[in-house]
Chain A
Amino acid sequence: MSLRVLNGFKFSSLRTPVHRLDPRAKFMLVIGTIVPSLLFTNIYLLVGLLLVQVPLLLVGRVTRRWVQSLRAGVFLSALIFVVNFFTGPLANAVALTLRFLLLMTTFSFFFMTTSPDDLGLAIDKVGFIRWLSRRWLGYPNALSFTFTTAVRLVPTMAVDAQTVVDAQRSRGLELDKGNLFRRVRNYIPILIPLLLIAIRRSLELAEALEARGFPGKEGRTSLFELRFKPVDYALLGMSLAGMALSFWVFFHYRIPTI
Protein backbone atom coordinates (compact mmCIF):
# COMPACT_ATOMS: atom_id res chain seq x y z
CA MET A 1 0.00 0.00 0.00
CA SER A 2 2.65 2.45 1.06
CA LEU A 3 4.46 2.07 -2.24
CA ARG A 4 1.39 2.97 -4.24
CA VAL A 5 1.05 6.23 -2.31
CA LEU A 6 4.58 7.09 -3.39
CA ASN A 7 3.63 6.37 -7.00
CA GLY A 8 1.56 9.54 -6.89
CA PHE A 9 4.68 11.57 -6.10
CA LYS A 10 6.99 10.13 -8.75
CA PHE A 11 7.87 12.24 -11.77
CA SER A 12 6.34 11.12 -15.04
CA SER A 13 8.39 12.13 -18.03
CA LEU A 14 5.79 13.66 -20.34
CA ARG A 15 5.73 16.78 -22.49
CA THR A 16 2.55 18.63 -21.62
CA PRO A 17 1.88 22.33 -21.01
CA VAL A 18 1.79 21.60 -17.28
CA HIS A 19 5.19 19.91 -17.40
CA ARG A 20 6.61 22.89 -19.23
CA LEU A 21 5.51 25.43 -16.62
CA ASP A 22 8.33 27.03 -14.69
CA PRO A 23 8.83 25.05 -11.47
CA ARG A 24 9.01 28.27 -9.45
CA ALA A 25 5.62 29.42 -10.73
CA LYS A 26 4.22 25.95 -10.17
CA PHE A 27 5.53 25.93 -6.64
CA MET A 28 3.89 29.30 -5.98
CA LEU A 29 0.65 27.75 -7.24
CA VAL A 30 1.10 24.98 -4.68
CA ILE A 31 1.64 27.56 -1.91
CA GLY A 32 -1.28 29.60 -3.27
CA THR A 33 -3.52 26.55 -2.94
CA ILE A 34 -2.25 25.45 0.43
CA VAL A 35 -2.51 28.83 2.19
CA PRO A 36 -6.29 29.25 1.79
CA SER A 37 -6.89 25.57 2.52
CA LEU A 38 -5.03 25.91 5.81
CA LEU A 39 -6.62 29.27 6.72
CA PHE A 40 -10.23 28.25 6.15
CA THR A 41 -12.29 25.15 6.80
CA ASN A 42 -15.14 26.16 4.48
CA ILE A 43 -16.28 23.06 2.66
CA TYR A 44 -17.34 24.89 -0.53
CA LEU A 45 -13.96 26.56 -0.77
CA LEU A 46 -12.09 23.29 -0.24
CA VAL A 47 -14.19 21.45 -2.81
CA GLY A 48 -13.66 24.36 -5.21
CA LEU A 49 -9.88 24.29 -4.76
CA LEU A 50 -9.92 20.51 -5.26
CA LEU A 51 -11.95 20.87 -8.47
CA VAL A 52 -9.56 23.51 -9.79
CA GLN A 53 -6.78 20.90 -9.67
CA VAL A 54 -8.64 18.43 -11.87
CA PRO A 55 -8.19 20.25 -15.20
CA LEU A 56 -4.50 20.73 -14.37
CA LEU A 57 -4.14 17.01 -13.68
CA LEU A 58 -5.98 16.23 -16.91
CA VAL A 59 -3.74 18.52 -18.96
CA GLY A 60 -0.68 16.98 -17.27
CA ARG A 61 -2.03 13.49 -18.09
CA VAL A 62 -1.37 12.21 -14.58
CA THR A 63 -4.99 11.72 -13.48
CA ARG A 64 -4.75 7.95 -13.38
CA ARG A 65 -1.72 7.99 -11.09
CA TRP A 66 -3.40 10.62 -8.91
CA VAL A 67 -6.45 8.37 -8.51
CA GLN A 68 -4.13 5.49 -7.62
CA SER A 69 -2.44 7.49 -4.90
CA LEU A 70 -5.84 8.68 -3.62
CA ARG A 71 -7.05 5.12 -3.42
CA ALA A 72 -3.96 4.22 -1.45
CA GLY A 73 -4.59 7.23 0.82
CA VAL A 74 -8.16 6.15 1.61
CA PHE A 75 -7.12 4.54 4.89
CA LEU A 76 -5.47 7.70 6.19
CA SER A 77 -8.41 9.90 5.10
CA ALA A 78 -10.81 7.51 6.82
CA LEU A 79 -8.72 7.72 9.98
CA ILE A 80 -8.75 11.53 9.88
CA PHE A 81 -12.51 11.52 9.34
CA VAL A 82 -13.26 9.11 12.20
CA VAL A 83 -11.00 10.88 14.70
CA ASN A 84 -12.53 14.29 13.90
CA PHE A 85 -16.05 12.92 13.78
CA PHE A 86 -15.80 11.81 17.40
CA THR A 87 -14.13 15.01 18.59
CA GLY A 88 -16.20 17.61 16.78
CA PRO A 89 -19.09 18.36 14.45
CA LEU A 90 -19.65 16.42 11.24
CA ALA A 91 -18.94 19.38 8.96
CA ASN A 92 -15.57 19.87 10.60
CA ALA A 93 -14.63 16.23 10.05
CA VAL A 94 -15.60 16.50 6.38
CA ALA A 95 -13.62 19.72 6.01
CA LEU A 96 -10.47 18.29 7.60
CA THR A 97 -10.64 15.16 5.42
CA LEU A 98 -11.06 17.37 2.36
CA ARG A 99 -8.08 19.43 3.48
CA PHE A 100 -5.94 16.29 3.68
CA LEU A 101 -7.01 15.18 0.21
CA LEU A 102 -6.35 18.64 -1.15
CA LEU A 103 -2.84 18.81 0.32
CA MET A 104 -2.06 15.37 -1.04
CA THR A 105 -3.40 16.25 -4.48
CA THR A 106 -1.49 19.52 -4.67
CA PHE A 107 1.84 18.03 -3.70
CA SER A 108 1.42 14.97 -5.87
CA PHE A 109 0.49 17.24 -8.79
CA PHE A 110 3.68 19.23 -8.24
CA PHE A 111 6.02 16.24 -7.96
CA MET A 112 4.37 14.28 -10.76
CA THR A 113 4.78 17.09 -13.27
CA THR A 114 8.14 18.59 -12.25
CA SER A 115 11.33 16.80 -13.28
CA PRO A 116 14.04 16.62 -10.59
CA ASP A 117 16.40 18.38 -13.01
CA ASP A 118 14.06 21.34 -13.37
CA LEU A 119 13.57 21.39 -9.65
CA GLY A 120 17.34 21.53 -9.16
CA LEU A 121 17.59 24.41 -11.62
CA ALA A 122 14.77 26.20 -9.84
CA ILE A 123 16.40 25.77 -6.43
CA ASP A 124 19.57 27.14 -7.99
CA LYS A 125 17.74 30.34 -8.82
CA VAL A 126 16.56 31.02 -5.29
CA GLY A 127 18.87 33.67 -3.87
CA PHE A 128 18.46 32.61 -0.26
CA ILE A 129 19.48 29.02 -0.97
CA ARG A 130 22.51 30.19 -2.95
CA TRP A 131 23.52 32.43 -0.08
CA LEU A 132 23.02 29.69 2.50
CA SER A 133 24.93 27.21 0.36
CA ARG A 134 27.85 29.62 -0.05
CA ARG A 135 28.02 30.39 3.66
CA TRP A 136 27.70 26.77 4.66
CA LEU A 137 29.42 24.77 1.93
CA GLY A 138 31.49 27.44 0.22
CA TYR A 139 29.82 27.11 -3.15
CA PRO A 140 26.46 28.55 -4.23
CA ASN A 141 25.30 25.51 -6.23
CA ALA A 142 26.27 22.90 -3.65
CA LEU A 143 22.86 22.59 -1.96
CA SER A 144 20.86 22.31 -5.15
CA PHE A 145 23.39 19.82 -6.48
CA THR A 146 23.05 17.74 -3.31
CA PHE A 147 19.30 17.74 -3.71
CA THR A 148 19.34 16.67 -7.38
CA THR A 149 21.92 13.96 -6.70
CA ALA A 150 19.85 12.56 -3.83
CA VAL A 151 16.73 12.43 -6.00
CA ARG A 152 18.70 10.90 -8.86
CA LEU A 153 20.11 8.13 -6.67
CA VAL A 154 16.77 6.86 -5.40
CA PRO A 155 15.99 4.61 -8.41
CA THR A 156 19.58 3.33 -8.47
CA MET A 157 19.37 2.45 -4.81
CA ALA A 158 16.07 0.68 -5.40
CA VAL A 159 17.74 -1.56 -8.00
CA ASP A 160 20.62 -2.27 -5.60
CA ALA A 161 18.20 -3.11 -2.82
CA GLN A 162 16.43 -5.62 -5.05
CA THR A 163 19.73 -7.29 -5.99
CA VAL A 164 20.82 -7.51 -2.36
CA VAL A 165 17.49 -9.04 -1.37
CA ASP A 166 17.80 -11.54 -4.24
CA ALA A 167 21.37 -12.43 -3.27
CA GLN A 168 20.52 -13.01 0.39
CA ARG A 169 17.36 -14.94 -0.38
CA SER A 170 19.51 -17.17 -2.57
CA ARG A 171 21.51 -17.87 0.59
CA GLY A 172 18.43 -19.11 2.37
CA LEU A 173 17.48 -15.88 4.16
CA GLU A 174 13.74 -15.76 4.81
CA LEU A 175 12.71 -12.20 5.59
CA ASP A 176 9.22 -12.87 6.92
CA LYS A 177 10.16 -15.70 9.26
CA GLY A 178 10.02 -15.63 13.06
CA ASN A 179 8.70 -13.14 15.61
CA LEU A 180 8.95 -9.37 15.37
CA PHE A 181 12.42 -9.18 16.91
CA ARG A 182 13.70 -11.90 14.62
CA ARG A 183 12.21 -10.19 11.58
CA VAL A 184 13.99 -6.95 12.33
CA ARG A 185 17.23 -8.90 12.69
CA ASN A 186 16.55 -10.55 9.33
CA TYR A 187 17.11 -7.19 7.67
CA ILE A 188 20.70 -6.83 8.88
CA PRO A 189 22.14 -8.84 5.95
CA ILE A 190 20.21 -6.53 3.62
CA LEU A 191 21.01 -3.22 5.26
CA ILE A 192 24.76 -3.64 5.74
CA PRO A 193 25.59 -4.31 2.06
CA LEU A 194 23.21 -1.53 1.00
CA LEU A 195 24.82 0.97 3.35
CA LEU A 196 28.30 0.01 2.21
CA ILE A 197 27.32 0.26 -1.43
CA ALA A 198 25.88 3.72 -0.81
CA ILE A 199 29.02 4.89 0.98
CA ARG A 200 31.28 3.45 -1.69
CA ARG A 201 29.18 5.01 -4.43
CA SER A 202 29.25 8.45 -2.84
CA LEU A 203 33.04 8.28 -2.50
CA GLU A 204 33.33 7.28 -6.15
CA LEU A 205 30.94 10.06 -7.12
CA ALA A 206 33.05 12.58 -5.20
CA GLU A 207 36.20 11.42 -6.96
CA ALA A 208 34.52 11.51 -10.37
CA LEU A 209 33.26 15.03 -9.69
CA GLU A 210 36.66 16.24 -8.57
CA ALA A 211 38.26 14.65 -11.62
CA ARG A 212 35.93 16.76 -13.73
CA GLY A 213 36.78 19.96 -11.89
CA PHE A 214 33.77 20.31 -9.59
CA PRO A 215 32.78 22.85 -8.28
CA GLY A 216 34.50 24.91 -10.93
CA LYS A 217 34.31 28.67 -11.03
CA GLU A 218 31.40 30.67 -9.81
CA GLY A 219 28.80 31.64 -12.35
CA ARG A 220 28.23 28.20 -13.76
CA THR A 221 25.88 28.17 -16.73
CA SER A 222 23.50 25.39 -17.58
CA LEU A 223 22.32 23.89 -20.84
CA PHE A 224 18.71 24.69 -20.11
CA GLU A 225 17.89 28.08 -18.64
CA LEU A 226 14.66 28.49 -16.75
CA ARG A 227 12.77 31.47 -18.06
CA PHE A 228 9.40 32.85 -17.01
CA LYS A 229 6.92 32.73 -19.86
CA PRO A 230 3.76 34.87 -19.88
CA VAL A 231 1.74 31.94 -18.58
CA ASP A 232 4.18 31.58 -15.66
CA TYR A 233 3.77 35.28 -14.79
CA ALA A 234 0.00 34.84 -14.95
CA LEU A 235 0.17 31.82 -12.66
CA LEU A 236 2.47 33.66 -10.25
CA GLY A 237 0.17 36.68 -10.23
CA MET A 238 -2.92 34.57 -9.61
CA SER A 239 -1.26 32.68 -6.79
CA LEU A 240 -0.02 35.84 -5.07
CA ALA A 241 -3.38 37.56 -5.49
CA GLY A 242 -5.17 34.49 -4.14
CA MET A 243 -2.89 34.39 -1.12
CA ALA A 244 -3.25 38.11 -0.43
CA LEU A 245 -7.02 37.85 -0.71
CA SER A 246 -7.06 34.84 1.60
CA PHE A 247 -5.08 36.66 4.30
CA TRP A 248 -7.21 39.80 3.96
CA VAL A 249 -10.43 37.81 4.30
CA PHE A 250 -8.94 35.78 7.14
CA PHE A 251 -8.17 38.89 9.21
CA HIS A 252 -11.43 40.75 8.46
CA TYR A 253 -14.19 38.13 8.33
CA ARG A 254 -15.07 34.83 9.90
CA ILE A 255 -15.90 32.20 7.29
CA PRO A 256 -18.17 29.40 8.60
CA THR A 257 -17.42 25.75 7.88
CA ILE A 258 -20.61 25.38 5.90
Chain B
Amino acid sequence: MKIDSGDFLAIMGENGAGKTTLAKQLNGLLRPSLGKVTVDGDDTTKKSVAQLSRKVGIVFQNPDHLLFSETVKEEVGFALKNFGFEPGVIAKQVERTLEALDLAHYADISPFLLSGGERKRVALAAVLAWEPDYLILDEPTIGQDYQQKERLRDFILQLNSQGKAVVMVTHDVEFVAECNPKVVLMSRGRIVAQGQADEVLSDGGLIEKASLVKPQMAKLFSQLGEFGLPRDVVDVHRAKVLLEEKLLEVKVRVAQSS
Protein backbone atom coordinates (compact mmCIF):
# COMPACT_ATOMS: atom_id res chain seq x y z
CA MET B 1 0.00 0.00 0.00
CA LYS B 2 1.26 3.47 -0.89
CA ILE B 3 0.00 6.92 0.02
CA ASP B 4 1.17 9.85 -2.11
CA SER B 5 0.87 13.52 -1.32
CA GLY B 6 -2.43 14.81 -2.66
CA ASP B 7 -4.07 11.41 -2.23
CA PHE B 8 -7.50 11.02 -0.74
CA LEU B 9 -7.94 7.55 0.69
CA ALA B 10 -10.68 5.85 2.68
CA ILE B 11 -9.87 2.75 4.70
CA MET B 12 -13.03 0.71 5.24
CA GLY B 13 -13.85 -2.67 6.71
CA GLU B 14 -15.72 -4.49 9.45
CA ASN B 15 -15.14 -3.92 13.18
CA GLY B 16 -11.83 -5.40 14.16
CA ALA B 17 -10.59 -5.62 10.58
CA GLY B 18 -7.39 -3.79 11.51
CA LYS B 19 -8.17 -0.29 10.26
CA THR B 20 -7.05 1.55 13.37
CA THR B 21 -4.04 -0.74 13.74
CA LEU B 22 -3.02 0.21 10.21
CA ALA B 23 -3.51 3.90 11.00
CA LYS B 24 -1.34 3.64 14.12
CA GLN B 25 1.45 2.11 12.07
CA LEU B 26 1.66 5.31 10.06
CA ASN B 27 3.12 7.51 12.81
CA GLY B 28 5.03 4.85 14.70
CA LEU B 29 2.61 4.31 17.60
CA LEU B 30 2.77 0.68 16.54
CA ARG B 31 5.79 -0.76 14.82
CA PRO B 32 5.52 -3.52 12.23
CA SER B 33 6.39 -6.99 13.51
CA LEU B 34 6.76 -8.10 9.90
CA GLY B 35 7.50 -6.01 6.83
CA LYS B 36 8.29 -2.32 6.76
CA VAL B 37 6.56 1.03 7.05
CA THR B 38 8.31 4.06 5.63
CA VAL B 39 7.33 7.73 5.84
CA ASP B 40 9.02 9.87 3.19
CA GLY B 41 11.65 7.17 2.90
CA ASP B 42 12.34 6.93 6.66
CA ASP B 43 11.74 3.59 8.34
CA THR B 44 9.27 4.08 11.23
CA THR B 45 11.31 1.81 13.48
CA LYS B 46 14.18 4.32 13.38
CA LYS B 47 12.24 7.49 14.22
CA SER B 48 10.40 8.62 17.34
CA VAL B 49 6.64 9.05 17.38
CA ALA B 50 7.11 12.79 17.90
CA GLN B 51 9.33 13.07 14.82
CA LEU B 52 6.91 11.08 12.67
CA SER B 53 3.85 12.90 13.99
CA ARG B 54 5.26 16.16 12.71
CA LYS B 55 4.56 14.76 9.22
CA VAL B 56 1.72 12.32 9.93
CA GLY B 57 -1.11 13.76 12.01
CA ILE B 58 -3.63 11.31 13.45
CA VAL B 59 -7.00 12.55 14.67
CA PHE B 60 -8.39 9.99 17.09
CA GLN B 61 -11.98 8.89 17.01
CA ASN B 62 -12.99 9.99 20.50
CA PRO B 63 -12.11 13.59 21.39
CA ASP B 64 -12.42 12.71 25.09
CA HIS B 65 -9.15 10.84 24.79
CA LEU B 66 -7.15 13.97 24.08
CA LEU B 67 -8.86 17.09 25.41
CA PHE B 68 -7.37 18.35 28.67
CA SER B 69 -6.64 22.08 28.44
CA GLU B 70 -8.44 24.99 30.06
CA THR B 71 -9.29 26.72 26.80
CA VAL B 72 -9.79 25.66 23.21
CA LYS B 73 -6.93 27.96 22.24
CA GLU B 74 -4.45 26.19 24.53
CA GLU B 75 -5.72 22.81 23.39
CA VAL B 76 -5.03 23.57 19.76
CA GLY B 77 -1.65 25.10 20.60
CA PHE B 78 -0.49 22.14 22.72
CA ALA B 79 1.05 20.12 19.91
CA LEU B 80 2.69 23.21 18.41
CA LYS B 81 4.40 23.87 21.74
CA ASN B 82 5.59 20.26 21.83
CA PHE B 83 7.03 20.58 18.37
CA GLY B 84 8.89 23.72 19.41
CA PHE B 85 7.15 26.40 17.34
CA GLU B 86 7.74 30.09 18.20
CA PRO B 87 4.98 31.66 20.39
CA GLY B 88 4.11 34.14 17.63
CA VAL B 89 3.75 31.37 15.06
CA ILE B 90 1.66 29.33 17.48
CA ALA B 91 -0.80 32.17 18.04
CA LYS B 92 -1.16 32.74 14.31
CA GLN B 93 -1.58 29.06 13.43
CA VAL B 94 -4.12 28.51 16.21
CA GLU B 95 -6.16 31.49 15.10
CA ARG B 96 -6.12 30.36 11.49
CA THR B 97 -7.11 26.79 12.28
CA LEU B 98 -9.96 27.85 14.57
CA GLU B 99 -11.17 30.23 11.89
CA ALA B 100 -11.11 27.49 9.26
CA LEU B 101 -13.11 25.07 11.42
CA ASP B 102 -15.63 27.65 12.56
CA LEU B 103 -14.45 27.52 16.18
CA ALA B 104 -13.01 31.03 16.55
CA HIS B 105 -15.79 32.19 18.88
CA TYR B 106 -14.95 29.33 21.27
CA ALA B 107 -11.25 30.20 21.52
CA ASP B 108 -11.35 31.16 25.22
CA ILE B 109 -13.94 28.61 26.35
CA SER B 110 -13.14 25.30 28.02
CA PRO B 111 -13.33 22.45 25.48
CA PHE B 112 -15.35 20.45 28.00
CA LEU B 113 -18.27 22.89 27.75
CA LEU B 114 -18.70 22.18 24.04
CA SER B 115 -21.07 19.67 22.46
CA GLY B 116 -19.85 16.30 21.19
CA GLY B 117 -19.63 17.43 17.58
CA GLU B 118 -17.80 20.60 18.53
CA ARG B 119 -15.32 18.70 20.69
CA LYS B 120 -14.66 16.50 17.70
CA ARG B 121 -13.85 19.56 15.63
CA VAL B 122 -11.54 20.87 18.35
CA ALA B 123 -9.71 17.53 18.21
CA LEU B 124 -9.38 17.93 14.45
CA ALA B 125 -8.15 21.50 14.88
CA ALA B 126 -5.58 20.32 17.44
CA VAL B 127 -3.96 18.21 14.73
CA LEU B 128 -4.52 20.46 11.71
CA ALA B 129 -2.81 23.34 13.50
CA TRP B 130 0.68 22.02 12.76
CA GLU B 131 -0.22 21.32 9.12
CA PRO B 132 0.96 17.73 8.81
CA ASP B 133 1.67 16.51 5.28
CA TYR B 134 -0.39 13.39 5.87
CA LEU B 135 -3.64 13.65 7.79
CA ILE B 136 -5.20 10.49 9.22
CA LEU B 137 -8.81 10.79 10.38
CA ASP B 138 -10.30 7.99 12.48
CA GLU B 139 -14.09 7.97 12.03
CA PRO B 140 -14.38 11.71 11.38
CA THR B 141 -18.10 11.73 10.57
CA ILE B 142 -19.46 10.11 13.74
CA GLY B 143 -21.70 12.51 15.65
CA GLN B 144 -21.59 15.20 12.96
CA ASP B 145 -24.79 16.53 11.42
CA TYR B 146 -25.21 16.73 7.66
CA GLN B 147 -24.07 20.33 7.42
CA GLN B 148 -20.89 19.61 9.36
CA LYS B 149 -20.20 16.60 7.16
CA GLU B 150 -20.50 18.80 4.09
CA ARG B 151 -18.04 21.27 5.61
CA LEU B 152 -15.70 18.45 6.51
CA ARG B 153 -15.81 17.18 2.95
CA ASP B 154 -15.11 20.62 1.51
CA PHE B 155 -12.29 21.00 3.99
CA ILE B 156 -10.72 17.67 3.07
CA LEU B 157 -10.94 18.48 -0.64
CA GLN B 158 -9.35 21.86 0.04
CA LEU B 159 -6.46 20.20 1.91
CA ASN B 160 -6.15 17.75 -0.97
CA SER B 161 -5.82 20.56 -3.47
CA GLN B 162 -2.99 21.98 -1.34
CA GLY B 163 -1.13 18.73 -1.93
CA LYS B 164 -1.79 17.15 1.48
CA ALA B 165 -2.69 13.48 1.70
CA VAL B 166 -5.84 12.67 3.63
CA VAL B 167 -6.55 9.16 4.89
CA MET B 168 -9.93 8.50 6.44
CA VAL B 169 -10.83 5.43 8.48
CA THR B 170 -14.59 5.09 8.35
CA HIS B 171 -17.79 3.04 8.19
CA ASP B 172 -19.79 5.83 6.60
CA VAL B 173 -20.38 4.50 3.06
CA GLU B 174 -22.59 7.40 1.98
CA PHE B 175 -19.94 9.92 2.97
CA VAL B 176 -17.29 8.00 1.07
CA ALA B 177 -19.59 7.62 -1.94
CA GLU B 178 -20.12 11.38 -2.11
CA CYS B 179 -16.38 12.09 -2.00
CA ASN B 180 -15.37 9.24 -4.32
CA PRO B 181 -11.83 8.80 -2.95
CA LYS B 182 -9.60 5.78 -3.39
CA VAL B 183 -10.86 2.99 -1.15
CA VAL B 184 -8.81 0.39 0.69
CA LEU B 185 -11.10 -2.39 1.85
CA MET B 186 -9.90 -4.44 4.81
CA SER B 187 -11.14 -7.66 6.31
CA ARG B 188 -9.63 -9.73 9.13
CA GLY B 189 -6.34 -7.88 9.10
CA ARG B 190 -5.82 -8.02 5.35
CA ILE B 191 -6.39 -5.65 2.47
CA VAL B 192 -9.01 -7.36 0.32
CA ALA B 193 -9.48 -4.70 -2.33
CA GLN B 194 -8.14 -1.36 -3.48
CA GLY B 195 -9.59 0.96 -6.05
CA GLN B 196 -11.75 3.97 -6.76
CA ALA B 197 -14.84 4.16 -4.51
CA ASP B 198 -17.32 3.68 -7.35
CA GLU B 199 -15.68 0.41 -8.36
CA VAL B 200 -15.24 -1.03 -4.87
CA LEU B 201 -18.49 0.13 -3.26
CA SER B 202 -20.68 -1.15 -6.11
CA ASP B 203 -19.17 -4.65 -5.93
CA GLY B 204 -21.65 -6.72 -3.92
CA GLY B 205 -19.21 -9.51 -3.12
CA LEU B 206 -16.53 -7.20 -1.72
CA ILE B 207 -19.03 -5.13 0.24
CA GLU B 208 -20.38 -8.21 1.96
CA LYS B 209 -16.90 -9.48 2.74
CA ALA B 210 -16.12 -6.27 4.62
CA SER B 211 -19.52 -6.24 6.37
CA LEU B 212 -20.59 -2.92 4.84
CA VAL B 213 -23.76 -1.89 3.01
CA LYS B 214 -23.79 -0.53 -0.52
CA PRO B 215 -24.47 3.17 -0.83
CA GLN B 216 -28.10 3.79 -1.81
CA MET B 217 -27.20 4.88 -5.34
CA ALA B 218 -25.23 1.67 -5.88
CA LYS B 219 -28.23 -0.36 -4.66
CA LEU B 220 -30.49 1.50 -7.08
CA PHE B 221 -28.19 1.17 -10.06
CA SER B 222 -27.48 -2.51 -9.45
CA GLN B 223 -31.19 -3.04 -10.20
CA LEU B 224 -31.26 -0.77 -13.25
CA GLY B 225 -28.73 -2.74 -15.27
CA GLU B 226 -31.37 -4.02 -17.68
CA PHE B 227 -31.99 -0.46 -18.91
CA GLY B 228 -28.43 -0.23 -20.10
CA LEU B 229 -27.22 1.88 -17.19
CA PRO B 230 -23.77 1.25 -15.64
CA ARG B 231 -23.66 -0.51 -12.26
CA ASP B 232 -20.70 1.29 -10.74
CA VAL B 233 -22.55 4.46 -9.72
CA VAL B 234 -22.28 5.51 -6.07
CA ASP B 235 -22.75 9.28 -5.92
CA VAL B 236 -25.91 11.27 -6.42
CA HIS B 237 -24.35 13.70 -8.85
CA ARG B 238 -23.30 11.08 -11.38
CA ALA B 239 -26.59 9.24 -10.92
CA LYS B 240 -28.48 12.41 -11.77
CA VAL B 241 -26.48 13.01 -14.95
CA LEU B 242 -26.96 9.43 -16.12
CA LEU B 243 -30.67 9.35 -15.37
CA GLU B 244 -31.24 12.69 -17.10
CA GLU B 245 -29.56 11.37 -20.22
CA LYS B 246 -31.71 8.27 -20.10
CA LEU B 247 -34.91 10.25 -19.62
CA LEU B 248 -34.03 12.51 -22.53
CA GLU B 249 -33.39 9.48 -24.69
CA VAL B 250 -36.75 7.97 -23.76
CA LYS B 251 -38.54 11.24 -24.35
CA VAL B 252 -37.02 11.52 -27.83
CA ARG B 253 -37.97 7.93 -28.59
CA VAL B 254 -41.56 8.47 -27.45
CA ALA B 255 -41.80 11.64 -29.56
CA GLN B 256 -40.45 9.82 -32.59
CA SER B 257 -42.81 6.86 -32.30
CA SER B 258 -45.92 9.01 -31.97
B169 in the interface, Cβ–Cβ < 8 Å?
A: no
Contacting pair B64 A173 (CB below 8 A):
no
A residues near B187, Cβ cutoff 8 Å: none
Docked-complex contact A196 and B83, CB < 8 angstroms: no
Cβ-defined contact, B58 with A170, below 8 A: yes
Instruction: Give the interface centre of A160, A166, A174, A200 by most chain B CB atoms within 10 Å.
Output: A166
Cβ–Cβ contact B66 & A172, under 8 A: no
Q: A164 contacts B66, CB within 8 Å?
A: yes
Contact (Cβ within 8 A) A171 B78: yes
Interface of A, helix, strand, loop or mixed by DSSP: helix
Tell whether, in the assembled complex, residue A172 and residue B29 are in contact, meaning their CB atoms are under 8 Å apart.
Answer: no
Surface stretch bound by A, among B46-54, B154-162, B218-226: B46-54
| A171 and B65 in contact, given A163-B60, A166-B24, A189-B78 (Cβ under 8 angstroms) | no
User: A residues within 8 A CB of B57?
Assistant: 170
How many Å from the CB of B22 to the closest CB on chain A?
A: 14
Q: Knowing A169-B50, A170-B27, A174-B48 are in contact, say whether A197-B65 is a contact too (CB < 8 A).
A: yes
**How far does the alpha carbon of A169 sit from the alpha carbon of B60 in the complex, in Å?**
11
A196 to chain B, nearest CB (A): 7
B201 at the interface (CB under 8 A from A): no
CB under 8 Å from chain A, chain B span 50-83:
50, 53-54, 57-58, 60, 62, 64-68, 78-79, 82-83
Q: Does B175 contact A (CB under 8 A)?
A: no
B112 CB–A CB distance under 8 Å: yes
A173 to B27 CA separation, bound complex (whole angstroms): 13
A168 within 8 A of B: yes
Q: Does A258 contact B (CB under 8 A)?
A: no
Complex-state Cα separation, A174 to B29, whole angstroms: 12
B127 CB-CB contact with A under 8 Å: yes
Q: Are A172 and B64 in contact (CB under 8 A)?
A: no
- Closest-by-CB residue of B relative to A196 is B64
For B207, list chain A residues within 8 Å (CB).
none
Chain B residues in 8 Å Cβ range of A174: 48, 50, 82
In angstroms, Cα B48 to Cα A171, docked, is 12
A180-223 interface bits toward B, Cβ cutoff 8 Å, 1 = contact, 0 = none: 00000000110011001100100000000000000000000000
Question: Which residues between 20 and 40 of chain B lie within 8 Å of chain A, taking CB atoms?
Answer: 24, 27, 29
Contact of B217 with A by CB under 8 A: no
Verify if B122 is at the interface (C-beta below 8 Å from A): no
A153 located at the interface, meaning its Cβ lies under 8 Å from any Cβ of chain B in the complex: no
Q: Kindly list chain B residues whose C-beta atoms are within 8 Å of the C-beta of A249.
A: none
- Contact indicator per residue, chain A 54-69, by CB within 8 Å of chain B (1) or not (0): 0000000000000000
Cβ of A113 to closest chain B Cβ, rounded Å: 30
Known: A189-B78, A196-B112. A170 touches B60 (CB 8 A): yes
Chain A residue contacts of B62, Cβ below 8 A = 163
Complexed CA–CA distance, A99 and B24 (Å): 46
Query: Contact at A160–B126, with CB atoms within 8 Å?
Result: no
Tell whether, in the assembled complex, residue A160 and residue B78 are in contact, meaning their CB atoms are under 8 Å apart: no
> Are A172 and B83 in touch, CB under 8 angstroms?
yes
Q: Which of B24, B29, B68 has the most CB of A within 10 A?
A: B68
Residue numbers of B with Cβ under 8 A of A are 24, 27, 29, 48-50, 53-54, 57-58, 60, 62, 64-68, 78-79, 82-83, 112, 126-127, 130
Given contacts A163-B65, A164-B65, A193-B66, list 18 more A-B pairs with CB under 8 A: A160-B65, A163-B62, A166-B24, A166-B60, A167-B58, A167-B66, A169-B53, A170-B58, A171-B66, A171-B126, A172-B79, A172-B83, A173-B50, A173-B82, A174-B50, A188-B68, A189-B78, A193-B65
Chain A residues near B (Cβ < 8 Å): 160, 163-164, 166-174, 188-189, 192-193, 196-197, 200
